[in-house]
Structure 1
């Protein structure tokens, strides 16, 4: 990249993150980051809430994440093809439409009190979110100098933290009723009273999701009326060899594996944070645990904004490696200790998760050129890790040592991310070009 100099020609300027003429599109894209993390973080509340409202087990409740992240997996390649043919903006509008439809379907699902109906609605939401992520992540990364791509993506992901924070908070206020019934309490209730309690608990999701769907429609209208700059190289035909041909880039292959593991670890920790807190500190109210989860995610947002600055000074791979190592240690603490120290370690892990997703993503798509759309699709497909890791943790928690032992699973996932950070280009072990 050609260096920029000031008028005296004495010193090079640091490349800017976002040009002024691209500021409005960038801010709208940043809003998209907040909307998809809001939906994803609400799942962490639903996992605990539906155990009461729909009388399902902890392992069964993990199917919320399976439906959600399988939706991501199934949509990622179609999203990449749509974006490749019609452009990033078309992909965004398609994603928002599907997102809103899925949110509106929560109303009839709650009326039916049918867990499969909720799973279908979550699948549709995630299908739309895959379009949004496949569009927005690479668009932000290439909306400016390539050298600041990771920093720009970290900045946008900082806005994602706003959605991730407000999701559990909104869930704690408007979905969790605060009326907690133990299994013994429910067994002692008359059948009609028990049915009424569960119907009321299920209905508590209706208005939050209808409101969410309405907000998504309004955001879609605003984006439709805004002109977005064209970026990248438009090519209507797939590269020779098909959509997966882009995997000839070794660094992208590693990034897909690392992203699978990272997302699985993050989703697993956040999915069971409320349950973990209740196990470690039994007298903590569920609503309080949900607020602690929001506070933990606030650390992630703080780390994203800090990371956007630091990655202009420190290589993304080095920061990624340091954060992965820190999270391995924190997961081991949560496994080996009890009470407040265990909860505190899990709570702190969000800070070190902060730069991991955007760093892996930006390093994975760097240098792909006209193949960026398909590379982005594969990295979004890797989000399906969130469908596999939480169920594995749920099974371990119920059969082999509780949630403390289950935290060994995300520790192993972070170890894979650490390996990626060590093996990215610059160490001489993984080439950035075709294998």
Structure 2
């Protein structure tokens, strides 16, 4: 029986849709990747900004990351069920409106000038992003031939990388202008999120008028799936676990980037470190374009394993705390992280048939793994120095390498 019970649109298979319509739908989906990339790019710079203006400790400041990724943990699965009921377009619109609300909540939070309201606003914003990502990841996955899903996701995630690059540039330029606590310390935070909230609301109106076809999973349409429940798909279960571990590593790398940069490069200030984070995220974006090209020649499993092994080595160099060398290695880590999320996602949901939407929502829920590492990394940083905290991401990349080498094997 289909789990898709009340779609507002008739479902069609991708090859029954005109290529121009598919390209338009893909373009709208890719734009969503940019939105949550921008939100995430601002997050790590906010972390350091609040350390300076609100005098919160390193570990305490990671509650921003816990709120952001905790929303994914709590909201993604309900968002997946909602997606099954209302379809891709309505799911995207709901996600956009909740995201806009969360951004606008930064206005009263900045007026209050306390850390907790910012954390709560971040949770609301990320709840909307969780809805968006659940819809967009699974939508891109079905907007074409299944064997090219990994390439489409890597391409879409490249524009997510563009957003994460622009975020630190904005934050570095504006958040650290007069970071002393006091009146006006959060004016620029208030302004940026007000603009983001209004822009997303306007974009939601554009999406509301667009034609986004409701695409059925090919296996569902042809009754080709084997009908097994999700938990019996070993590659899927291991994929969700690996995704959670990877996201924890990625979030931890970003959350302490500014601190590690300052610690390993004498004379570097917070604004300069924020610009270096943007450089790292340029490499992150470039890595996704490179991976998209490589996936035409190399299997997703091989590429995932290779990039993960390289990042284990780089993370250990960062943890050693070498002057300048560790900072260079930390920047390089972002390039090799680039393909991990979309490739794990595509490998994990392959062959799920009518369970693809539910499987995709659980893959997005795994982004909640971002709550796991930032706080213990903060504690390690306070006890042993910022570079030492990178030992935890190194372990996470070991898990990714093992999934690529063995766990992602799929048998129909």
Q: TM-score, normalised by structure 2?
A: 0.91
Q: How does 1:145-224 map to 2 (within 5 A)?
A: 145-177=145-177, 179=178, 197-224=181-208
Aligned equivalent of 1:78: 78
Deviation track 1:61-120 (CA, whole Å, cap 9, x = no partner) reads 000000111111111111001100110111111110110000000010010112111111
* Unaligned ranges ≥5, structure 2: 1-14, 219-227
Q: What is the CA-CA distance between 1:287 and the residue it aligns to?
A: 1.1
Root-mean-square deviation (CA, aligned residues, Å) is 1.8
User: How far apart are the structure 2 equivalents of 1:432 and 1:46?
Assistant: 44
Would the alpha carbon gap of residues 108 and 343 (structure 1) be closer, same or farther in structure 2, given more than 3 Å must change? Answer: same
Matched-pair contact (CA < 8 Å) for 1:53–1:201: yes
Aligned equivalent of 1:414: 397
SS at match of 2:184: helix
Matched-pair contact (CA < 8 Å) for 2:142–2:217: no
Q: What is the CA-CA distance between 1:425 and the residue it aligns to?
A: 4.8
User: How far apart are the structure 1 equivalents of 2:411 and 2:271?
Assistant: 47
Aligned equivalent of 1:314: 298
Aligned equivalent of 2:132: 132
Which moves more between the two structures, 276-285 or 294-303? 276-285
Q: How does 1:296-335 map to 2 (within 5 A)?
A: 296-335=280-319
Q: What is the CA-CA distance between 1:245 and the residue it aligns to?
A: 4.8
User: How far apart are the structure 2 equivalents of 1:229 and 1:409?
Assistant: 42
Matched-pair contact (CA < 8 Å) for 2:264–2:321: no
Q: What is the CA-CA distance between 1:229 and the residue it aligns to?
A: 1.6
User: How far apart are the structure 1 equivalents of 2:408 and 2:394?
Assistant: 24
Q: What is the CA-CA distance between 1:337 and the residue it aligns to?
A: 3.8
User: How far apart are the structure 1 equivalents of 2:292 and 2:202?
Assistant: 29
User: How far apart are the structure 1 equivalents of 2:371 and 2:150?
Assistant: 26
Aligned equivalent of 1:286: 270
Q: What is the CA-CA distance between 1:392 and the residue it aligns to?
A: 1.1
Deviation track 1:173-229 (CA, whole Å, cap 9, x = no partner) reads 12221x466xxxxxxxxxxxxxxx433222321000000111111111111111012
Deviation track 1:130-182 (CA, whole Å, cap 9, x = no partner) reads 101100001101110011000011000111111000010011112221x466x
Which of 331, 343, 350 is the aligned partner of 1:359?
343
Matched-pair contact (CA < 8 Å) for 1:19–1:144: no
Matched-pair contact (CA < 8 Å) for 1:50–1:202: no
Q: What is the CA-CA distance between 1:283 and the residue it aligns to?
A: 1.2
Would the alpha carbon gap of residues 231 and 291 (structure 1) be closer, same or farther in structure 2, given more than 3 Å must change? Answer: same
User: How far apart are the structure 1 equivalents of 2:304 and 2:202?
Assistant: 36
Aligned equivalent of 2:279: 295
Would the alpha carbon gap of residues 74 and 425 (structure 1) be closer, same or farther in structure 2, given more than 3 Å must change? Answer: closer
User: How far apart are the structure 2 equivalents of 1:72 and 1:283?
Assistant: 37
User: How far apart are the structure 1 equivalents of 2:69 and 2:243?
Assistant: 13
Q: TM-score, normalised by structure 1?
A: 0.86
User: How far apart are the structure 1 equivalents of 2:307 and 2:81?
Assistant: 33
Would the alpha carbon gap of residues 250 and 44 (structure 1) be closer, same or farther in structure 2, given more than 3 Å must change? Answer: same
User: How far apart are the structure 2 equivalents of 1:247 and 1:216?
Assistant: 36
Matched-pair contact (CA < 8 Å) for 1:176–1:204: no
Q: What is the CA-CA distance between 1:233 and the residue it aligns to?
A: 5.1
Aligned equivalent of 2:387: 404
User: How far apart are the structure 2 equivalents of 1:57 and 1:176?
Assistant: 17
Would the alpha carbon gap of residues 39 and 180 (structure 1) be closer, same or farther in structure 2, given more than 3 Å must change? Answer: closer
Task: Figure out how many residues of one structure are paired with residues of the other and give that number.
Answer: 388
